[in-house]
Amino acid sequence: MVVDSYQKKENKKYNNIIPCKEKILFLLKNSKDLINQKKIELKFNIYNQEEKIALHHRLKLMQRNNQIIRTYNDYYITLENKKIVQGQVIGHRDGYGFLRTEKFKDDIWLSIEQMKLCIHGDIVVAHIIKSERKGKKIAKVLKRLKPNKILIIGQYYIDNKKDVVIPNDSRFNFKIFISKPVIFSTKISIGSIVVVNLKQHSIQKNTQIKGRIVEVLGKEMETNLAINIALRTHCIPYLWSEKAKKQLSQIKNTINKKDLKDRIDLRHIPFFTIDEEDARDFDDAIFCKKKNNGKNGWILWVAIADVSYYIKPRTALDKDALKRGNSIYFPSLVIPMLPEKISIDICSLNPNVERLCLICEMNLSNKGELLEYKHYEAVICSHGRFTYNEIFKIWNGDPELCFKYKNVLKYIQNLSSLQEILKRYNISKKGIYFENIETKFILDTHFRIKKIYQNIRNDAHKFIESCMILANVASAKFIEKYQLSVLFRNHDCPSKDSVINFRSFLKRFKLSLLGGEVPKSIHYSNFLKKIINRTDYEIIQNILLRSMKQAVYDPENRGHFGLSLSSYVHFTSPIRRYPDLITHRVIKKLLLKEKTIFLKEKSLYKSNLYNMNEMKKIGIHCSMTERRADEATRDVIDWLKCDFMKKKIGNVLTGVISNVTTFGFFVRLNQYFIDGLVRIASLSDDYYYFDSIGLKLIGKFSKNTYCLGDILQVKVIAVNINERKIELSLCMSK
């Protein structure tokens, strides 16, 4: 605790007069109104000037010790007060905004005046000043705790002889005045897309927001520019540090005898990689065989690239990889977690080359149950690179492919036999399995959409997924046995409110979810199996997905609700996910300790590579980078969709309502699998209001409704590239 010299001297003199910190905290915690020092003085009968100075020092000390917060207008607050909230600002293009908090389910309204004190993305503390406004709480911003430090992308203009930038993201509802002369090798042309670094101190009420142009990205929008915008908007690292480059140059491309020391030689085993057609890095390979002609089950080998052999903790490459957290796969470009020398060369399990691996060897029963497992370091040589579609076709007797791969056909058929077992019995019998249909693009030479199609997961996809889940489960069990810190992949059960809302939604379809107040994974799983043949299956499945919580990384094991597993880690993708790299390091440390099992120093077993606090921070960071990657790729994909739909303006198309909101409903266009928005303001035949429980719009007078699953004909009327929105108007319904 920090105590200044004034406090030491005056403590005794004013101890009986100046309220103690507990009394001040009690006052601030229970007050309905904001309190400044003057009100505290009146409350505790402090009138003497010296006593006021002593109180000021006590408040200052409490502020320094993070016990209280001093706001813009010199109020003192504590976050324990029910009227005080902390949250993230969500801007709106019309100037107002919302405050998203953990304390309240619904966002809190921020007026246009309040938004002059903050910007989209800021973390602020606010005071709830009214209980309702159209069903929303209203808040008054008191202080910016953590300013949004992201770079802002916008277009450069000259306004009244002043350099200004208009942000592309309409949630930043202001102009940015460029405070310093723009110094670049060539003059910036009007309309150019630029990157601006804000001057944080300029964001104050009734002042111009100032910034500095730090980069010019270009003028004509195209796919690579959309990617560059996404990288900077989401603050994604895309350059390697000089130290990382130097370390990379020292890593050899070939394997020598020293690298093979203490490794099991599995080069004779015909491992295969099975991935998508456009995959570039191959971090997993598999092989399986029957035990005793299949009477006693199966042996399954999952070989994972030994990235941890090359990337040691706290080295330059490791630090860069941690900053990235994961690889990001854009339609025309990959931002890898590790340099390409590692990700698509040295550690990629390319065919017919020797690679260092960490093996998870598993004994499975005739029902696909995990009986025994062991991990060890090995060297393998992949005997082939297959795609999911090739394997699926071979399993179904494609004559051309069967002839082409006749030398390894029996091993591929072994995979098919094991697949039938895993499909029948399922690795997680109670887990929730979704029938995902992925939208895929074929791009032209300019990386713009040429064709859109839906990629349906076949049995080969599901088989590889089951093999990876088995390896992840075995790895979690192995680490838990020794109680070492690792990042578990946690998926918490849905909140009670989410369950109630989902059940209310199901009533409209005359469906129900069993399981009482706290349904288990098996109840969701059985529900999906029951509706699998319905035409509206995908819509209902998407609503179910939205009712679920996001999976996160955390050193505290809380289990995986979706898979119905008590413990789960990520082991199978260390090339593209940092938590998997940590899992490998922990497993290899345990393998080293197992070799010294006869030593008396058993305390070595519980020594951690990372302490719990360090692991917690890494888990929070990697959970964030995962969401960041999703948001960035969504930005680029949405741009591609908008770019594609610009050519379709004026077309009348058929679609199905995929989502309903307060401002309108989204229609999934059947021909292109793209969503467009029909705004509620465009429905001129009645006044419509939003039913949040039934997820539908209802006409006030006509009682006409627009619900999820309704089939409509719509017209493409506009495309807003900056907002990534496709505007539709209603033609007729079927």
Q: Which H or E run includes 497?
A: helix 496-507
Same domain, 140 and 162: no
Asked, for residue 232, whether it belongs to a domain, the answer is no
pLDDT along the chain (734 residues), means of 10: 45 64 88 88 87 89 88 86 88 88 82 88 86 69 85 90 89 86 71 88 69 90 93 93 97 91 95 92 94 82 97 96 97 95 95 97 93 96 95 95 93 94 78 83 92 90 95 96 91 92 88 93 93 88 91 96 95 97 95 64 56 92 96 95 95 93 93 94 90 85 90 95 91 60
Determine how β-strand 209-218 pairs with β-strand 176-178.
parallel
For residues 301 and 271, the answer to whether their CB atoms sit within 8 Å is yes
Q: Say which DSSP state 646 is in.
A: G
CATH number of the domain that 15 lies in? 1.10.10
Instruction: Assess contact for 299 and 288: CB atoms under 8 A.
Output: yes
Output the pLDDT for position 280.
85
**Taking a C-beta distance cutoff of 8 angstroms, is the pair 484, 475 a contact?**
no
> Do the strands 328-329 and 334-335 form a parallel or antiparallel pair, or are they unpaired?
antiparallel
**CATH number of the domain within which 725 lies:** 2.40.50.140
Strand partners, 438: 455
Residues 121 and 188 in one domain: no
Shared domain for 42 and 69, answered yes or no, is: yes
Contact of 240 with 343, CB cutoff 8 Å: no
pTM of the entire structure? 0.87
Do 423 and 469 reside in the same domain of the chain? Answer: yes
Q: Kindly tell me the number of DSSP H helices and DSSP E strands found in the chain.
A: 18, 34
372 plus 457 within the same structural domain: yes
Q: Which of 43, 62, 77 is the last residue of a domain?
A: 77
User: For residue 2, what pLDDT is reported?
Assistant: 43
- The pLDDT value given to residue 490: 97
Pairing of β 328-329 and β 688-691: unpaired
**Is residue 123 included in any domain, yes or no?**
yes
- What span, in angstroms and rounded, lies between the C-alpha atoms of 468 and 461? 11
Domain count, the chain: 6
Same domain, 511 and 621: no
How close are the terminal C-alpha atoms of the chain, in Å? 70
Q: Which of 322, 321, 307 is nearest to 251 (CA)?
A: 307
Q: Is residue 644 part of a domain?
A: no
Q: Is residue 228 part of a domain?
A: no
Tell me, what's the pLDDT at 77? 87
Residues 65 and 91 in one domain: no
Q: Find the CATH number of the domain harbouring 205.
A: 2.40.50
Of 75, 71, 81, 208, residue with least CA distance to 144: 71
Residues 106 and 190 in one domain: no
C-alpha to C-alpha distance for 617 and 620, rounded to whole angstroms:
5
Dmax over Cα atoms in the chain, in whole Å?
Answer: 98
Structure tokens at 386: 């297959």
Q: What residue has token string 């006509």? A: 702
How far is Cα 303 from Cα 286, in angstroms, rounded to an integer? 6
Phi-psi domain of 314 (left: phi exceeds 0; alpha: psi -120 through 50; beta: other) = left
Strands 354-364 and 298-305: antiparallel
| End position of a domain, from candidates 580, 599, 632 | 632
Q: How far apart are CA 485 and CA 554, in angstroms?
A: 10
CA–CA gap between residue 370 and residue 478 (Å, rounded)? 13
| Co-location of 583 and 724 in the same domain | no
CA dist., res. 198 & res. 174, Å (int): 12
Beta-carbon-side half-sphere exposure of residue 272 (alpha carbons within 13 Å): 24
Q: Indicate the DSSP class of residue 687.
A: -
Please indicate, yes or no, whether residues 334 and 438 belong to a single structural domain of this protein: yes
Residue 226 lies in a domain: no
The per-residue pLDDT for 270 is 96
* Residue 13, domain member (yes or no): yes
C-alpha–C-alpha distance, residues 575 and 282, integer Å: 8
Which residue's structure tokens are 């507990």?
22
Buried b (16+ CB within 10 A) or exposed e, 65-101: eeebbbbeeebbbbeebeebbbbbbbbeeeeebbbeb
Q: Are 648 and 717 in contact (CB under 8 A)?
A: no
Please check whether residues 69 and 13 belong to one and the same domain. Answer: yes
Q: Is residue 164 part of a domain?
A: yes
Q: CA-to-CA distance for 126 and 83, rounded, in angstroms?
A: 8
Virtual torsion, Cα 28, 33, 36, 40, nearest 10 deg: -60
59/156 Cα distance (integer angstroms):
46
Distance CA 714, CA 683 (A): 12
Q: Which domain holds residue 520?
A: 493-548
What is the DSSP code (8-state) at residue 532? Answer: T
Residue 231 is assigned to a structural domain of this protein: no
Which of 96, 129, 146 is where one domain is finished? 146
* Helical residues (DSSP H) of 65-169, grouped into ranges: 112-115
The answer to whether residues 377 and 305 touch, using CB atoms and an 8 Å cutoff, is no
Residues 309 and 373 in one domain: yes
